[in-house]
Amino acid sequence: MKKIGFNILFVLLFFCFNCSDAEQVEALESEEDPVEISLTPPDGIPDPFNLFTVIDDDVPRSEFDEVSKWYQEEPGKQVFQLFTGDEFIGERKHARTEAGQGLKFKEGTTWHTLEATMHPSDKLDITYTIAQLFAGCCGPQLRVEVRTNGRIHVGSRSNENVRISTDEDWANGQRSFTIKIRTNGRDMEVYFNNELKFTGVSEESTMDNVDALYHFRWGVYSNEKMKKNLSNTVTNITRN
């Protein structure tokens, strides 16, 4: 009787083990399969923009299907993802899934804004970036960063690094917050949950580079190869 019971238990365990394998394979295949992304962005998504990903440094909307593993969208919502092992090897190694380009501007009297609600899924053991003001010639002028303790900071080449969030963990996967960046190419402002927390001057302006072309970027950017999965869900997006 004990032998029969053991045999039944063995068969059940074998069956469950195979089911688990099948589910894992199905999940992996689903993760790898491209998802069709419309050539026309849904309502509430800025247009135009390109994607910077771990497989290409500048992807137009006509090729978004090829990077749908890392980026998905629906009306009023963008999801930027990175997965364990992701790494882009260009001038230097990093991992990223970011929206950018599209709206470009020089230093002047007109103010431009990127505002969005962001929901990072986790922290990393290094600081990572969720939004930038970027100069095409010369790199980021400011970065909105998620620190290893979940605090939100602003880093800037020509200004000090400052914490803009409250002294709490904002990257525990349970919380969202609103980020707003305003700039005229020279002056920069960053708001956290509608409160002004940072002001500064772009590095290119301090060097009298009036030809610099600026644009906003947002999503997820890590300076190291990914050791865990990470996402940033972005809603209520305004860029002008």
Q: What are the pLDDT digits (tens) for 13-39?
A: 333 334 434 333 333 333 456 688 999
**pLDDT tens digits, one per residue of 193-240:** 999 999 999 999 999 999 999 999 999 999 999 999 999 999 999 999
pLDDT at residue 9, rounded to an integer: 40
User: DSSP E strands: which ranges in 165-239?
Assistant: 177-183, 187-192, 195-201, 214-222, 230-239
User: Do 154 and 164 touch, CB atoms closer than 8 A?
Assistant: yes
**Residue 92: predicted pLDDT:** 73
Confidence (pLDDT) at 43:
97
The backbone torsions φ and ψ at residue 188, rounded to the nearest 5 degrees and listed phi first, read: -130, 140
Q: Whole-model pTM?
A: 0.85
pLDDT at residue 81 in the model? 98
Position with higher pLDDT, 100 vs 160:
100
CA gap 190, 222 in Å, rounded: 21
How is residue 215 written in tokens? 């644009």
Closest CA to 142 of 208, 83, 202, 82: 202
CA distances from 1 to 4, 8, 9, 10, 157 (A): 5, 11, 12, 14, 75
CATH of domain 50-239: 2.60.120.200
pLDDT reported for residue 116 = 99
Q: Report the percent of the chain where pLDDT is more than 70.
A: 86
> Which amino acid would we find at residue 47?
D
- CA 8/CA 5 separation, integer angstroms: 5
* Mean pLDDT score across all residues of the chain: 88
Query: Cα separations (Å) of 149 from 53, 170, 180?
Result: 25, 9, 22
